[in-house]
């Protein structure tokens, strides 16, 4: 059993953040552990407030895990303030974290700012230790300081982000209006495209969290970066295809579809 750690914020409605990460990790046959950085009050209609945890408890959670358990892969999600980013960065370096996948969460789907503007520079420092960074197009535009409209723009943005120090960069293309394509820029200098399919659903809450956690799980299981991203793409595509509504807004992607079916749940 491979042990995968997620470092992120808590989503009270269970669609994204720590809750989505643990579901995705479990669905890959790995054991999920968590370090919570912030607590959000949110539902399918939006994020309404965020309360950050202290530096001491964040460091305490990391110490408790690394002092006791071999961590095979790490997913890093919502780190809203500079002090949180710095604390996580220091501890991951101290404990020699491996298979680090950073999802640079900045803005929620409802438009709530999940990363303080003054923390962007600290985030670029954290990115240096990543094995993979997985920005969507709006996030990549901030990190690369450029507008992204075409696949060529995605590649250029990926090159700029890769120059910051991460070994690999995955630019997610779901925000483009045409066929969604994700582009991986590898440590070896390769450019690999993953063609996607657009599903007619509004229920896409937790897609970024789910993809990054799945990739971290496969890296922890010994897959190559190209293979891990490919498996992540397969899983998130199936999860979006089987997403469902739980409230009045954007519902979650489907993590345990076969288990739901086996239990006789009609979630459609």
Active site residues: 172, 204, 206-209
CA-CA-CA-CA torsion for 245, 251, 254, 257, nearest 10 degrees?
Answer: -10
C-beta of residue 105 within 8 angstroms of C-beta of residue 114: yes
Q: Give backbone dihedrals phi and psi of 169, rounded to 5 degrees, phi first.
A: -135, 130
* Residues β-bridged to residue 9: 38
Distance (Å, whole) CA 92 – CA 114: 22
Distance (Å, whole) CA 223 – CA 218: 6
Tokens of 28: 């890959």
Distance (Å, whole) CA 48 – CA 38: 13
């Amino acid at each position: 059993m491979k042990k995968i750690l997620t470092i992120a914020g808590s989503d009270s409605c269970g669609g994204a953040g720590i809750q989505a990460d643990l579901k995705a990790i479990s669905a890959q046959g790995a054991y999920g552990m968590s370090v919570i950085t912030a607590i959000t009050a949110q539902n399918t209609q939006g994020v309404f407030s965020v309360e950050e945890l202290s530096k001491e408890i964040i460091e305490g959670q990391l110490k408790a895990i690394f002092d006791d358990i071999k961590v095979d892969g790490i997913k890093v999600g919502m780190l809203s303030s500079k002090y949180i980013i710095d604390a996580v960065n220091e501890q991951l370096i101290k404990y020699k974290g491996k298979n680090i996948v950073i999802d640079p969460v900045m803005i929620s789907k409802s438009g709530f700012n999940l990363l303080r503007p003054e923390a962007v520079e600290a985030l670029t420092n954290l990115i240096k230790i990543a094995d993979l960074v997985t920005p969507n197009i709006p996030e990549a535009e901030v990190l690369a300081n450029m507008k992204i409209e075409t696949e060529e723009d995605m590649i250029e943005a990926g090159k700029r982000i890769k120059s910051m120090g991460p070994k690999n960069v995955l630019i997610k293309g779901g925000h483009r209006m045409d066929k969604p394509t994700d582009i991986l820029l590898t440590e070896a200098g390769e450019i690999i495209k993953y063609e996607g399919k657009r599903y007619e659903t509004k229920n896409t809450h937790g897609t970024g969290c789910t993809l990054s956690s799945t990739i971290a799980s496969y890296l922890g299981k010994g897959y190559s970066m190209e293979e891990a991203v490919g498996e992540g793409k397969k899983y998130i595509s199936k999860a979006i295809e089987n997403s469902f509504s739980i409230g009045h807004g954007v519902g979650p992607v489907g993590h345990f579809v076969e288990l739901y079916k086996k239990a006789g749940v009609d979630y459609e």
